[in-house]
Amino acid sequence: MTISELEFLQSPVGQQVFQDFFDDPQAVQSPERLIMKLRKKFPAEVGAVIHQIKLHHTAPEKLGDCTGLILTQAGVEQATRTEVSGHVAKRYRKFSSVTDGTAGIGADARSIVDDAGQVIEHDLVIAKILEHNLSQWRPESSISVREADCLDPEIEWGNAVYLDPARRDKEGRRTAQMNLWSPNLYQLIPQITDQTHNIGIKISPATDWEQVDKLGLEYEGEVIAWNFRVKQTMIWTGELKSEVSRRATILPDTWSLTDHDPVENISVTPAKTYIVEPNNAILRAGLLDQFCTRYGCTKLDPHIGYVTTDTIPEFESDHVARAYRIMDMEKYNVKHLKKALNGYHGEGIELRRRGFPETPDQVKKKLNIPDGNDLTVLLTRIGPSLYSIICEKV
Ligand SMILES: C[S@@+](CC[C@H](N)C(=O)[O-])C[C@H]1O[C@@H](n2cnc3c(N)ncnc32)[C@H](O)[C@@H]1O
């Protein structure tokens, strides 16, 4: 978005166009055609208003009520889901001057930064959008908005800091490589720890712990899932950190497991009656042994995240794990699997994998069977061998 598009969006004419066309299906389905029509009457910036309408139809699913906000495609993509940032914000409540150093369009800042806090954003247009959005979300607050590079050594960080770096490389591709993010955390963190150790950093759940270790912080790593989808990892230091080093949190129920939970040596056994597939957040946090200890499961392979049991565990939340009753388990062979599936007259199958080299889509093509979720085929590896496990959800 350009400054002139932003100004037009904020102008009475821009606002009126927004209202007039908000319910026009063309604005969402064929915005370019509508823009062509409107450009006869309005300046070129009218395109930004129509694109804004489209964003306002989709963003509320992630960000809640967006009335009065200015959104950007990248801003919505990068923003944290409201319920997740609400969870993250809880740890900041005890602090009185929080700085969000990479505030973007302000979706996190709205719940994390206190009324006397500050938000920083280095992109001129985004900083103006941020200011606008905070005046909508937090009209009573006196949060200070700074258009600045957070690597500026003059910045005063207050007593707690939130960071959500842009996790893209120079070509704009998403990356889990921390040294390619903006700002560079390896440069920024030592500058902040000169002032405060109370830092929370949102990172990609695909970033390995070794990269985090290199920041030289004593930290808690919290892997957060929304239902079954792993959304992000939070790195917590200083007084934001709890006593644990690793935590898996599953929202919306705020179910959690940590490295301080009881843990036994988990044996590797042949498959029992059921296969259990723990939420990926548990695996990413490295807490499979704690999971097996809590729910009485054994492993099929020391390194694979499908585990097995004769009794279906009672999970405290629906999204802790999926459980399946085994119907047929064989060494993976497409012909045999196809034949075995022909014996079942379900509507379709769902394929899932852990530790298996081919993607479910690649295998599905070979099997040539319809999608569905009557039956599940788990594709996995036990020792050196690949297996397919036909099962039904329980
Ligand atoms: C992932 S987005 C933040 C999203 C934000 N947490 C939200 O909820 O809307 C990262 C933001 O950091 C900004 N940024 C990147 N490098 C920066 C720097 N050195 N100083 C300040 N802001 C920076 C980017 O422009 C981008 O808007």
The three-state DSSP-derived secondary structure of 86-154 is HHHHHHHCCCCCEEECCCCCCCCHHHHCCCCCEEEECCHHHHHHHHHHHHHHCCCCCCEEEECCCCCCC
**Residue nearest to ligand 1 atom 17, measured at CA:** 183
Claim to verify: residue 216 and residue 359 sit in the same structural domain: no
Cβ–ligand 1 contact at 151 (below 6 Å): yes
Spatial distance between the Cα atoms of 74 and 174, rounded to a whole number of angstroms: 12
Claim to verify: residue 170 and residue 43 sit in the same structural domain: no
Q: What are the helix (H) ranges across the chain?
A: 3-10, 12-21, 25-29, 31-38, 46-58, 60-63, 73-78, 82-89, 109-112, 124-137, 185-193, 209-213, 280-284, 288-295, 334-342, 360-367
Claim to verify: residue 324 and residue 286 sit in the same structural domain: yes
Claim to verify: residue 214 and residue 140 sit in the same structural domain: yes
What sign does the dihedral 283-284-286-291 (CA atoms) show?
negative
Look at the chain and report how many structural domains it folds into.
3
Place of tokens 């949102």: 202
Determine, yes or no, domain membership for 267: no
Which atom of ligand 1 is found nearest the CA of 80? 8
Cβ–ligand 1 contact at 51 (below 6 Å): no
Claim to verify: residue 16 and residue 130 sit in the same structural domain: no
Claim to verify: residue 233 and residue 344 sit in the same structural domain: no
Claim to verify: residue 88 and residue 51 sit in the same structural domain: no
Torsions phi, psi of 332, nearest 5?
A: -65, 125
Q: Are 307 and 298 in contact (CB under 8 A)?
A: yes
Which atom of ligand 1 is found nearest the CA of 85? 8
CA of 103 to the centre of ligand 1 (A): 5
Side-chain half-sphere exposure of 234, counting CA atoms within 13 A:
26
Which pLDDT score, from 0 to 100, does residue 10 have?
A: 94
Claim to verify: residue 154 and residue 282 sit in the same structural domain: no
Determine, yes or no, domain membership for 223: yes
Claim to verify: residue 143 and residue 215 sit in the same structural domain: yes
Spatial distance between the Cα atoms of 219 and 353, rounded to a whole number of angstroms: 31
The per-residue pLDDT string of the chain (394 residues; one tens digit each, 9 = 90 and over) reads 999 999 999 999 999 999 999 999 999 999 999 999 999 999 999 999 999 999 999 999 999 999 999 999 999 999 999 999 999 999 999 999 999 999 999 999 999 999 999 999 999 999 999 999 999 999 999 999 999 999 999 999 999 999 999 999 888 899 999 999 999 999 999 999 999 999 999 999 999 999 999 999 999 999 999 999 999 999 999 999 999 999 999 999 999 999 999 999 999 999 999 999 999 999 999 999 999 999 999 999 999 999 999 999 999 999 999 999 999 999 999 999 998 888 776 667 899 999 999 999 999 999 887 777 688 999 999 999 999 999 999 9
Which pLDDT score, from 0 to 100, does residue 347 have?
A: 67
Which pLDDT score, from 0 to 100, does residue 345 have?
A: 64
Claim to verify: residue 111 and residue 237 sit in the same structural domain: yes
Determine, yes or no, domain membership for 384: yes
Claim to verify: residue 85 and residue 114 sit in the same structural domain: yes
What tokens does 12 get?
């009475």
**Residue nearest to ligand 1 atom 27, measured at CA:** 104
Determine, yes or no, domain membership for 30: yes
CA 346 to chain CA centroid, Å, is 33
Domain that holds residue 17: 3-58
Can you give the CATH number for the domain in which 238 is found?
A: 3.40.50.150
CA of 122 to the centre of ligand 1 (A): 7
Q: Are 70 and 105 in contact (CB under 8 A)?
A: yes
Determine, yes or no, domain membership for 338: yes
- Helix, coil or strand: residue 246: strand
Among 242, 265, 289, identify where a domain stops: 242
Claim to verify: residue 92 and residue 184 sit in the same structural domain: yes
Determine, yes or no, domain membership for 253: no
CA of 190 to the centre of ligand 1 (A): 19
Determine, yes or no, domain membership for 191: yes
Cβ–ligand 1 contact at 99 (below 6 Å): no
Say which residues have a Cβ less than 8 Å from residue 49's Cβ, sequence separation at least 6: 8, 9, 14, 17, 18, 21
Determine, yes or no, domain membership for 70: no
